[in-house]
Chains A and B, each alone.
Chain A
Amino acid sequence: MNIVVLVKQVPDSGAERTLKSDDWTVDRASASNVINEMDEYAIEEALRITEAQGGEVTLLTVGPDRATESIRKALSMGPNGAVHVVDDAIAGSDAVQTSAVIAAALGTLEWDLVLAGAEATDGRVQVIPHMIAERLGVPALTGARKLTVDGDTRTIERQTDEGYEVVAATGKAIVSVWDTINEPRYPSFKGIMAAKKKPVKTLSLADLGIEPTAVGGANAHTTVLSAQPRPARQAGTRVPDEGEGGVALVEFLATEKFV
């Protein structure tokens, strides 16, 4: 069972994040960049499956040169190697374009299963797994809180608003996972040392047979017109509870017509 895990380098969601004022793309240069948190759960799940059933785990990322740091960090968890699609022309691409690049890169690899985080903490769009599935003509099992791989059958519990759905597919499939699926391991010292020597193959758009005019912000299907900080919320009244806090709260709610 060979598994490819999609990994994205994102600006740390715990720090301030901004858009660049010239092209309204994410300011990745000044941000503190980390592996998208949800992807660590996908890596963990891939490692557990291959540890039990054999096979290799390969990471796939699309991003600028500096994504290399995040690839090495992700490799330290245990995957065998990585593929890094890097090309200046990709900058500013939208999800539709990015999915074409990822789908083409997956076409160069041998895999039985693709795992991904259910969403990235920067865009939070949640659409990439289905877009890739659409392009490759394989099933997508998304939003998994549990994954079972039994021979050729992949079954997930898909989290829904009402509860969950049990969804199954046969053969090659793309599965996206939530952070409820497992607890990712911390890289060991040995893992960190080994990660430095693991193969990271870089691919350009030319390697994938994609024209530069098919990607990039200038050719995107959507255009950002403006971006501005949302006015910060002002702290309002703060009262200590001196025995009548609940009464004061309900008075406030009544003034605001919620009670």
Chain B
Amino acid sequence: MAEVLVVADGTASGGVRKATLEALTLARRLGEPAAVVLGAPGTADALAGPLAEYGAVKIYAAESDEIAGHLVAPKAEVLARLVGEVSPAAVLLPSSQEGKEIAGRLAVKLDAGLLTDVSDIAADGTVTQVVFAGSTIVTAKANGLPVVTVRSNSVSPEPAPAAGERVSVDATVSDAAKGATVLERVAEQKGSRPELTEAGVVVSGGRGVASAENFALIEELADLLGGAVGASRAAVDSGFYPHQFQVGQTGKTVSPQLYLAIGISGAIQHRAGMQTSKTIVAINKDDEAPIFELADYGIVGDLFKVVPQAVEQIRKRQG
């Protein structure tokens, strides 16, 4: 059976991102999953446990400070060399900014078929993509090697313990791939909330939240539900919450089990990033807000009354 390469993505805290476990789960439909770890020395061993548990028969480890210290190009270069050696049935990556960028370079190097933001893969390689703000479903296929980026929350990760045999890979990088040097990585995210695109629950605040301080209310509810915090563009533009948490057309696309839209009117800009969520709940004082058109449950009321009351109720239930 041909190998399917799954480029692993680690979290800042050293774990494997859920998107990678989802990709390993999907990869099994196409062939034998083999994880690829591209990073600083030591990265592969840190990620090996979960990668093997979720089906990686092999773990290709390409580790060097040069890979970690430059933007994207070294990863694509090393990956292209590996593809040349093992002739995989497909290459799967997370649909993150970096995942897409590596995929794009790889597709150019190999003249391969690039399929991004994929939510499902069939055994014959046909993929499903949701496009145009979640309004259209497309099926597509690569002519030649498929290079596929998989959207988070596409499939439930299923454990399938495998050997996870470590195979060291040549990690040398050409000078041409070292043009963009990472000088510094600065962490801004507060607390230990799940990553926005991978969270099962997302609680988002909009213009109605009215201030940066008031976002504490959104954070409190998110923490009680074990969720991530999101924000509409209006809230981000008003400086209430940082841009990396923006959900919508010009921000992140999320597809959680539960999405709470609080003080968000539901302009198309926002709907584009959240309307494939499983259950949508909206709280808004304007009963004509378009968000109610797609909400499974909506409360027309003042968020500053409804949310504190809900927080108190959840606390009561949780004892």
Residue of chain B at shortest CB distance from A13: B249
Contact of B293 with A233 in the complex, beta carbons under 8 Å: yes
Residues of chain A within 8 A of B144, CB atoms compared: 221
Contact partners of B169 in chain A: CB under 8 A: none
In the complex, the chain B residue whose C-beta lies closest to that of A244 is: B309
Q: Could you name 21 residue pairs across A and B whose Cβ atoms are closer than 8 Å? A: A96-B108, A96-B111, A121-B250, A126-B104, A128-B104, A134-B73, A141-B71, A166-B186, A221-B111, A222-B114, A227-B139, A229-B135, A230-B276, A233-B293, A235-B292, A235-B294, A236-B295, A236-B296, A249-B299, A256-B258, A259-B225
Chain B binding surface SS class: mixed
Whether a CB of chain A sits under 8 angstroms from the CB of B103 is yes
Q: Which of B71, B179, B314 contacts A259 (CB 8 A)?
A: B314
Q: Which residues of the other chain, B, contact A140 by a CB distance below 8 angstroms?
A: 71-73, 101, 179-180
Contact B313 A37 (CB under 8 A): no
- Does A124 lie at the interface of the complex (its beta carbon under 8 Å from any beta carbon of B)? yes
Q: Which of B114, B197, B272 contacts A127 (CB 8 A)?
A: B114
CB neighbours (8 Å) of A167 from chain B are 71, 180-183
Question: Could you tell me the distance between the alpha carbons of A141 and B97 in the complex, rounded to whole angstroms?
Answer: 12
**How many residues on chain A are close to B (CB under 8 Å)?**
86
Does B138 sit within 8 A of A, measured CB to CB? yes
Closest Cβ of chain A: how far from B255's Cβ, in Å? Answer: 12
Determine which residue in A14, A179, A238 has the highest number of CB atoms from chain B within 10 A of its CB, and name it: A238
Cα–Cα distance between A253 and B309 once the two chains are bound (Å) = 14
Contact yes or no, B302 A241, CB < 8 A: yes
- Tally of A-B residue pairs with Cβ under 8 A? 287
Chain A, 226-259, contact with B by CB distance < 8 Å: what is the 0/1 string?
A: 1111100101111111011111111011101011
Q: Which of A52-60, A83-91, A155-163, A187-195 contacts B (4 or more CB under 8 A)?
A: A155-163
Is B243 within 8 A of A250, CB to CB? no
Residues of A within 8 A of B311 (CB): 246
Q: How many angstroms between the C-alpha atoms of A178 and B306 in the bound complex?
A: 34
* Binary contact readout B158-190 vs A (1 if CB under 8 angstroms, 0 otherwise): 000000000000000000100111111111110
Count of chain B residues with a beta carbon within 8 Å of a chain A beta carbon: 95
Is the beta-carbon distance between B306 and A246 smaller than 8 angstroms?
yes
Given A159-B243, A246-B306, A254-B317, the answer on whether A127 and B100 have CB atoms closer than 8 Å is yes
- Do A13 and B133 have beta carbons less than 8 Å apart? yes
Give the docked Cα–Cα distance between A232 and B109 (Å): 39
Complex contact B186–A163 (CB within 8 A): yes
Q: A222-B114, A258-B201 are in contact. Are A238 and B306 (CB under 8 A)?
A: no
A67: CB under 8 A from chain B? no
- With a cutoff of 8 Å between Cβ atoms, the chain B residues found around residue A160 in the complex are 97, 185, 244
| Contact (A220, B143) CB under 8 Å given A13-B268, A125-B116, A134-B108 | yes
